[in-house]
Amino acid sequence: MTTPITYRDAGVDIDAGDALVEAIKPYARRTMRPEVLAGIGGFGALVEISKKYREPVLVSGTDGVGTKLKLAFELNRHDTVGIDLVAMSVNDILVQGAEPLFFLDYFACGKLDVAMATDVVRGIARGCELAGCALIGGETAEMPGMYPAGEYDLAGFAVGVVEKARIISGRQIIPGDVVLGLASSGAHSNGYSLVRRILARSRADLDGDFHGRKLADVLMEPTHIYVKPLLALIAAMQVKGMAHITGGGLVENLPRVLPDAVRAVISKSAWPMPPLFAWLQQEGGVAEAEMHRVFNCGIGMAVIVAAADAAAARALLVAQGETVYGLGEIAARPAGAAAVEMLP
């Protein structure tokens, strides 16, 4: 008689998946918004749009954490990558003026470790709290043979809403406007393939002191979530443009919000290069231009406002706990000129 084979024999533990769902429910519950009609547990989550919007427009975004996860595996630290996951999507939809409404995650692994997965999802829930959006569902995929033992992959999906008349498109940006920069919390979730290459070359001690902290802590610092301070700014004054500074740095992300007729003239001396980036540049022998094309180099979000509003914008953001720098200004763009000019 043939011995019966179960799904567990094939490498998938349904009971572990059920245990994970029960473990994360309390964390997801803390993120709920009044618009959520039905969240985790069903085939789909139900969310209505608040009646405060007359002409609501939905804004969506998706992203992952990238090879920063490889560092998380090496360090066996899984409690903050979920914040990174949320941040990368909600910061993206924020730049068009959207208030994040809800978030869904996709967690894929070869064999489900409930404790590890709970740490990850707890971080996702914390990111949602920081962004003011609801964690309404997701998918946990246990796929034997697809991932090395102890490793997983993450993807996230955010949906927000903005009043149609208040979409921030960048079309109103003109010469004379001011570019403000909001400090990053570190490398965020970009450039970690290069970071890991530099770490391997330098043989750095991840537990060693780095300006008063462990180097591992600096490298794993989660991506800063700018949602609440910038929504407060949008409510207080006209914000003409915003750019989330991710892979590509200022030189490749600012052009995404600039009209063809203008350029951003940025002074690299306007903000201090954080020690992490100076160390990466030195240890890796990375050219300065390459640094500014790969990393945020200390600026995680750029905000463009009229010159007359710059001082008030800066004061409001500082009051919200942000560190703000005047990066430069908008100028006319001559034919053939780059959209961003980086001055010393």
Structural domains for the chain: 14-166 (3.30.1330.10), 178-343 (3.90.650.10)
What average pLDDT does this structure show over 50-68? Answer: 96
pLDDT band at 9 (very low <50, low <70, confident <90, very high): low
pLDDT for 315: 98
- Tokens (6 digits) for 224: 């800063």
What average pLDDT does this structure show over 97-105? Answer: 97
Tell which residue, 200, 221, 205, has the closest CA to residue 298: 221
Whether pLDDT at 2 is above 90: no
Q: How many helices (H) and strands (E) does the chain have?
A: 11, 14
Contact 105, 159 (CB under 8 A): no
CA dihedral (184, 327, 226, 98) in degrees, to 10, reads -140
pLDDT band at 229 (very low <50, low <70, confident <90, very high): very high
Contact 125, 82 (CB under 8 A): yes
pLDDT for 207: 94
Q: Mean pLDDT across the chain, nearest whole number?
A: 94
- With a CB cutoff of 8 Å and minimum separation 6, the contacts of 23 are 114, 118, 121
Whether pLDDT at 13 is above 80: no
What sign has the CA pseudo-torsion 154, 155, 159, 165?
positive
pLDDT for 1: 62
pLDDT, greater one: 161 or 27: 161
CA 267-262-340 angle, to 5 degrees, is 35
Instruction: Give this prediction's pTM.
Output: 0.94
Burial zone of 290 (CB within 10 Å; 0-12 exposed, 13-18 middle, 19+ buried): middle
Distance CA 32, CA 132 (A): 9
Distance CA 253, CA 221 (A): 22
Which residues pair with residue 283 across a beta bridge? none
Whether pLDDT at 42 is above 80: no
Whether pLDDT at 185 is above 90: yes
Whether pLDDT at 73 is above 70: yes
pLDDT for 23: 80
The one-character DSSP state at 149 is: T
pLDDT band at 37 (very low <50, low <70, confident <90, very high): confident
pLDDT, greater one: 181 or 36: 181
Whether pLDDT at 194 is above 70: yes
Tell which residue, 31, 27, 192, has the closest CA to residue 117: 27
- Tokens (6 digits) for 172: 């109103």
- Per-residue pLDDT of 115-153, as tens digits, reads 999 999 999 999 999 999 999 988 999 999 999 999 999
Whether pLDDT at 50 is above 70: yes
Contact 262, 330 (CB under 8 A): yes
pLDDT for 290: 96
What average pLDDT does this structure show over 251-272? Answer: 96
Instruction: Work out the percent of the chain whose per-residue pLDDT is above 90.
Output: 85
pLDDT band at 26 (very low <50, low <70, confident <90, very high): confident
Whether pLDDT at 15 is above 80: no
What average pLDDT does this structure show over 62-86? Answer: 97
Phi-psi region of 251 (alpha: psi -120 to 50; beta: other; left: phi over 0): alpha
pLDDT for 211: 94
